[in-house]
Structure 1
């Protein structure tokens, strides 16, 4: 509202009236007892939420708890059935990763409800996650063109991910002060596992060429450290939409090197790093120590590298004529073998 003219008789009165708050800022409505909204409030304030292992995971939980409360806060906890949860989950079917994250948090929420007698069971316990496939390592041709066309900071994201093999949540936290004698040491945000990664000369050369604007190796266009992994994911999506990148993806598809519609995300670089380390001759435990993975996960991530190494070794043996004689078998009777 506009004030009257400053020399008007009622100016002072109107000024005081408009300067005095008539009401406080709107407060959040108290959720109804027994509702999902009330359950979210109870879970947030309980010890279970405080015991979620990492700050990154807690932040992710908060995001999905807000989403659950906004969309379903008025529903009764006791009225939730598996059929309802399938429909809730499938609302995000076009983004399976988001759907599965939502389901994880909703399952935790329903487990809390069962534990604290809000209801007698967990209706989400048997609901399966959507299939999203594996995080594929980036093909060499794709990496080459992405490094060529990426902006300087996006290029550094790729280099740091490829050379460290760490999750995006850890890559954006890396600081210059964590480097000692050519080794990057950090504690992973998700698992609280300490890792030390020898820095490849390619990585150190890229760092030396980059302006140092923050305590972190990576920063946004304002020179500030990235606050969330969302910025990383957004940059990768933008990169994949660039014409030269699309052309390479189309070429890889035509050559049947990748499948139709295959997508590549930042986490795939972790698999690239795993495969590279295995190819250098490091064993599962050594690779796991550097990447913060179990030996079983290293074997899973590196299965393509292992298959390739076996194929190369076998090819060399065949070409070199290294045949293992089998007891009781006369190779002469079979005649020459055509390779």
Structure 2
């Protein structure tokens, strides 16, 4: 790894730690790997924090956060999940750390959630952390109920499927690894968190088999020839299909999402986006994410004639979600079928009634 020159960072057995004095003793806090996209954010957060001179007031939200961070279940979470939760835990301590846990009411939580209404994704992530935090508070008898349990998440926009013209220019302009990621998402219909996990060892007879990270569902995906040909173009530098420039597997989804944002900002892609807006195919504020490729895949399989159950089994989603994702594809399929009958029929004028 080479000699580190970052202040307060030390390496032990190949792992990185942030060293801090607490009560006169050195304490070592685990850091992400140096090439992890979250490393600098976590290092900056720890560098800016100062060890508290006094502990939080008993019964306060700050005390609950401290207890939550110290429980074994939090320590067992994946590094990326802990880092993400800690951002929102810090926000909670900053905003209402001095408030008593027992005095927190749903109205307070609604107010804090609605302050982030312009960024609903952030608001929903904050609410999830708050809900988990207060659930832990009920477990350790800091209060009897969870005031966040009945509060709904804010509505998010739909993950739109990528239009054909946008997909074409994106594949043309993308770097080889970004292109492979797009093709993997398009042909597998899986979430980005699963696409970065896929390994060559999981392929058996042209079928990609694994358990989804989010749901635990077992999926078996027939690998399209286009997908297989795309993978052949990349040097096999890792056990995973997709990998960082260093050859190491992607550890978080952030790197892929950042690559897509950069791709969507390219002039050639923006030109196609503007043309689609002018033709009223999409709205001016339409955005396209990796998850939209999951909807592309669902629509494609439905157009092939697969049933909702078959599509759901391949993609690892419920039949209800397949129907939701496939609404647009089904409308087009019905229109195509009707078009043959409508355009093939004869227009016969209505006979006039003779009025005597």
TM range (shorter): 0.7 to 0.9
Q: In the alignment, what sits opposite 1:269?
A: 293
Alignment of 1:72-91 (within 5 A): 72-73=92-93, 74-75=97-98, 76-91=100-115
Greater percentage in strand: 2
| Structure 2: distance between partners of 1:277 and 1:190 | 22
Q: What SS class does the counterpart of residue 196 from structure 1 fall into?
A: strand
Contact 2:80/2:252, CA 8 A, preserved across alignment: no
| Structure 2: distance between partners of 1:297 and 1:48 | 31
Q: In the alignment, what sits opposite 2:59?
A: 34
Contact 1:64/1:102, CA 8 A, preserved across alignment: no
| Structure 2: distance between partners of 1:49 and 1:23 | 26
Say if 1:179 and 1:26 are closer, same or farther in 2 by CA, change over 3 A. Answer: closer
Q: What SS class does the counterpart of residue 78 from structure 1 fall into?
A: helix
Contact 2:188/2:297, CA 8 A, preserved across alignment: yes
Say if 1:224 and 1:334 are closer, same or farther in 2 by CA, change over 3 A. Answer: farther
| Structure 2: distance between partners of 1:119 and 1:204 | 55
User: Per-residue deviation at 1:115?
Assistant: 5.1
User: Per-residue deviation at 1:64?
Assistant: 4.4
1:42-73 Cα deviation digits (max 9, x unpaired): 445658769x9xx66x853x334312332233
Alignment of 1:79-158 (within 5 A): 79-114=103-138, 116-158=140-182
| Structure 1: distance between partners of 2:351 and 2:200 | 65
| Structure 2: distance between partners of 1:319 and 1:198 | 37
Say if 1:144 and 1:332 are closer, same or farther in 2 by CA, change over 3 A. Answer: closer
Say if 1:334 and 1:289 are closer, same or farther in 2 by CA, change over 3 A. Answer: farther
Which of 67, 82, 106 is matched with 2:87 structurally? 67
Query: Comparing 255-264 with 23-32, which one deviates more in the overlay?
Result: 23-32
Aligned Cα RMSD in Å? 2.7
User: Per-residue deviation at 1:85?
Assistant: 2.2
Which structure: larger Rg?
1
1:172-222 Cα deviation digits (max 9, x unpaired): 000111111111111100000110101111100011111111110101111
Contact 2:89/2:129, CA 8 A, preserved across alignment: no
1:195-250 Cα deviation digits (max 9, x unpaired): 01011111000111111111101011111100101111111111111111111111
| Structure 2: distance between partners of 1:258 and 1:25 | 56
Q: In the alignment, what sits opposite 2:5?
A: none
User: Per-residue deviation at 1:92?
Assistant: 3.9
Contact 2:138/2:144, CA 8 A, preserved across alignment: yes
Say if 1:146 and 1:173 are closer, same or farther in 2 by CA, change over 3 A. Answer: same
Say if 1:208 and 1:286 are closer, same or farther in 2 by CA, change over 3 A. Answer: same
Say if 1:256 and 1:48 are closer, same or farther in 2 by CA, change over 3 A. Answer: same
TM (norm. structure 2) is 0.77
Q: What SS class does the counterpart of residue 184 from structure 1 fall into?
A: strand
User: Per-residue deviation at 1:102?
Assistant: 1.5
Contact 2:196/2:253, CA 8 A, preserved across alignment: yes
Which of 245, 264, 271 is matched with 1:221 structurally? 245
TM (norm. structure 1) is 0.81
User: Per-residue deviation at 1:332?
Assistant: 7.7
Contact 2:196/2:250, CA 8 A, preserved across alignment: yes
Q: What SS class does the counterpart of residue 102 from structure 2 fall into?
A: coil
Say if 1:47 and 1:225 are closer, same or farther in 2 by CA, change over 3 A. Answer: closer
Q: What SS class does the counterpart of residue 210 from structure 2 fall into?
A: strand
Unpaired runs of at least 5, structure 1: 1-21, 324-330
Query: Comparing 118-127 with 146-155, which one deviates more in the overlay?
Result: 118-127
Number of equivalences: 302
User: Per-residue deviation at 1:108?
Assistant: 2.6
